[in-house]
Amino acid sequence: MSIILDANAPEAATNTTPDLIKDGSVETFVQDVIEPSMDVPVVVDFWAPWCGPCKSLTPTIEKVTREAGGRVKLVKINIDENQELAAQLRIQSVPTVYAFKDGRPVDAFQGAQPESEVRAFYEKLAGGPIESPIEAILEQAATALAEDDHAAAHSLYVSVLEREQQNEVAIGGMIRCMVGMGEIEETRHFVDNMSDLDRLKPAIAAAISALELAETGYSPEDLEAARAKVAANPSDLQAQYDLGMACFATNKREDAVKAMITIIRTDREWNEDAGRTQLLKFFEAWGPSDPASVAGRRALSTVLFS
């Protein structure tokens, strides 16, 4: 039985060492920030409950702090509850982030920043690269998925989701793995319980396309029958369509593209543009960088614009 994470569940709890990430105040500023900064850089995140950008920046800072592995600490300070401290440090807007080292501020930035910029800020403080274990696991999972080792890839994606429950790449990968393992009904139930916003995220939307194609009912057993029909009558576009879908089901990507291109070249409007519609779903399911998608898009452009 596969592990399905509830799409509506709250964020998984984070295992954080109390000394690594903590909430600070004006009363504890010296012991939380100044004194520890004599040994290791301390980042201070000034935020407020009403601040929208803070809600996106703070989780990113927390994530990079954990990945720094103790080389940088984080103290979060609510300016509404610590107005005197905010005034002393001349905090004019939030989020504002200070970095302290040897008891004094050495760097700072204001406003929400992408993770790449936050990571660069931390790496400068830490004096070296801060690798994301999540990215390494995702790379391993993608390799396993490409090799059709769905069980291994699924396990890796689940391990990511145990740390970052809303990681869309891992959610999309898990959907693909379950489709590959034939767990169609269970996967459909999971997808149907996701929010509309989540279903529109690129990595998840592409995986849902793979699910929808799997739900068409074509299987490896249909392949030889479809080949025989096409061989008997190459102009039979329904047979070409069945061949393309059966090739998709058996992961014969180049043949799947070829069959749909044949339909488009012969009659672009056949069955309400079914050839092009399914071909685009193939590309979405495989991903834009897949060689079959790249070659297929090139072939499609040639047919449509020739």
Known catalytic residue at 51: yes
SS3 string of 169-184? HHHHHHHHHHHHCCCH
Q: Are residues 172 and 87 in the same domain?
A: no
Q: Are residues 52 and 147 in the same domain?
A: no
What separation in angstroms does the CA of 64 have from each of 51, 114, 134, 161, 281? 21, 11, 11, 17, 36
Sheet holding 21-23, edge to edge: 21-23, 73-78, 42-47, 96-101, 104-110
Residue 73: the pLDDT is 97
pLDDT tens column, 116-165? 999 999 999 999 998 888 888 999 999 999 888 999 999 999 999 988 88
**Domain annotation covers residue 16:** no
Q: Are residues 111 and 176 in the same domain?
A: no
Known catalytic residue at 177: no
Choose one of 126, 161, 190: the last residue of a domain.
126
**Domain annotation covers residue 7:** no
Residue 18: the pLDDT is 52
CATH code of the domain in which 42 resides: 3.40.30.10
**Domain annotation covers residue 1:** no
Task: Show pLDDT as tens, one digit a residue, over the chain (306 residues).
Answer: 344 444 443 333 334 445 899 999 999 999 999 999 999 999 999 999 999 999 999 999 998 998 898 999 999 999 999 999 999 999 999 999 999 999 999 999 999 999 999 999 999 999 999 888 888 899 999 999 988 899 999 999 999 998 888 899 999 999 999 998 989 999 999 999 999 999 989 899 989 988 988 888 887 778 899 999 999 999 999 999 999 999 988 888 999 999 999 999 999 999 999 999 999 999 988 888 889 999 999 999 999 997
Segments forming the whole domain that contains residue 96: 21-126
Total domains in the chain come to 3
Residue tagged active-site, from 33, 42, 43, 51 = 51
Q: Classify residue 229 as exposed, middle or buried by CB count within 10 Å of its CB (0-12, 13-18, 19+).
A: middle
Residue 14: the pLDDT is 38
Choose one of 103, 126, 149: the last residue of a domain.
126
Q: Are residues 120 and 35 in the same domain?
A: yes
CATH code of the domain in which 249 resides: 1.25.40.10
Choose one of 102, 126, 150: the last residue of a domain.
126
- pTM value surpassing 0.85: no
Q: Classify residue 248 as exposed, middle or buried by CB count within 10 Å of its CB (0-12, 13-18, 19+).
A: buried
Residue tagged active-site, from 43, 54, 210, 230 = 54
**Domain annotation covers residue 12:** no
